[in-house]
Amino acid sequence: MKAEIIAVGSELLLGQITNTNAKFISSKLAEIGIDVYYQTVVGDNPTRLDEVLEIARKRADVLIFTGGLGPTKDDMTKETIVKHIGTTLVSDEDALRYIQQYFERSGRVMTENNKKQALVFQGATVLQNRKGMAPGMAVEKDGIHYILLPGPPHEMEPMFTDEATPYLLGALGKKEVIISRVLKFYGIGEAELENRVQSILERQTNPTVAPLATADAVTLRITAKADTEEGALELIVPVETEIRSIVGEYIFGIDEDTLSSKAAELLLRNGWTLAAAESLTAGLFMAELADEPGISASLQGGEIVYNEDAKMEQLGVEKALLDEYGVVSAECAASLAWNVQQKFGADIGVGLTGAAGPDPHDGKPAGTVWIGIAFKDEAPVTFKLFLSGARNTNRRRAARFALYYLVKHLAEKEL
């Protein structure tokens, strides 16, 4: 089966809300072996929706619509589709009773137009809405399955899981599983990564391998299709092993891992505590870590030491060191890491210093960054970056690079 997801709503086209429904539905369809080849967004316009329907029905077996099932005039999804497939709308008594009870429970007066939400295709499978009012529906016509779902994610997601998925499994007859594993990389660009695994990309069949770059990482998604989850995972393992043998040094995690979640995982699993001294990032590094639940057991605290005086007065960085090497230097980063570690009594100290831009700083070009990591009683290690983005892009990237180097360093210590 091939599916197309069609999101209806002018607010999506205007950028007023994000289409998270398509992401959710695509992932759930993959779990039951239905391929999604197209996703479409169309405004609240019957003519344009009709045009989308004409195109979609020629290239997919399952058309899944979200949005446009409400009580107002611009909610016209089912009214448009019912004409397209040549059936009629009828009132579903159970749905109407549920809507009436909804208003009674909330102490509100039910207006006449709310009855519109109880209208469904004649002969359709009604998909109950336990989190809102408008029911969904599913119907098959000329070999194509039409599934209509509400737009609000808190209504759509449980309806799809509890109501639409069993319907689709019944239509499939056989459950085919698609499993993906996403390898997360940092410190390597998308083009270089793709070049280094080019031979794998050229011979891919099942599993497939797809590169993708985001603001937080570069990824390779390995996707396998099989009759069972175990069978799909068996297909993924040798491909993942080969990728790791080529570019494994840049991998920091898989699937839902982020740099901050991996750092937190390593810190918490080993009972290590951490403190940070931030110059150019001014707290961005600690803010990333603070997003992780339970990190208070590890993150002791830190200092924002944005200028030379703060570095000397708050953390005791020696003036002679700054005079000789400057604030944008390996020596300064190492001193920041060591001194903040000692001040807070932490196992690990992290220091960040650099020239965010747009102008040079301390005689160093914009984008020059030094990161220091002090681990227990060992001499600090330092890492140098040459970043080429705008000022705040450089600051955010410096914080993420610090997390990346921290993850790699702690993973070695754990071994």
Please give the full DSSP string across 74-110, using - where no structure is assigned: T--HHHHHHHHHT--EEE-HHHHHHHHHHHHHHT-PP
**How far apart (Å, rounded) are the C-alpha atoms in residues 197 and 211?**
10
Residue 410 has pLDDT above 90, yes or no: yes
* All residues at 6 or more sequence positions from 22 whose CB lies less than 8 Å from its CB, including other chains: 5, 7, 39, 66
Please tell me the least confidently modeled range out of 70-79, 113-122, 126-135, 202-211. 70-79
311: which DSSP letter? H
% helix / strand / coil in the chain, to the nearest 5?
45, 25, 30
Query: What value, to the nearest 5°, has the Cα angle with vertex 315 and ends 309 and 321?
Result: 70
> Which pLDDT does position 111 carry in this prediction?
87
For the entire predicted model, the pTM comes to: 0.72
**Per-chain mean pLDDT for the chain:** 93
Which residues are CB-neighbours of 203 under 8 A, at least 6 positions away?
A: none
pLDDT over 70 at 282, yes or no = yes
- Longest CA pairwise span in the chain (Å): 85
61-65, 208-212, 279-283: range with lowest mean pLDDT = 208-212
The mean pLDDT value for 245-271 works out to 96
Distance CA 278, CA 283 (A): 6
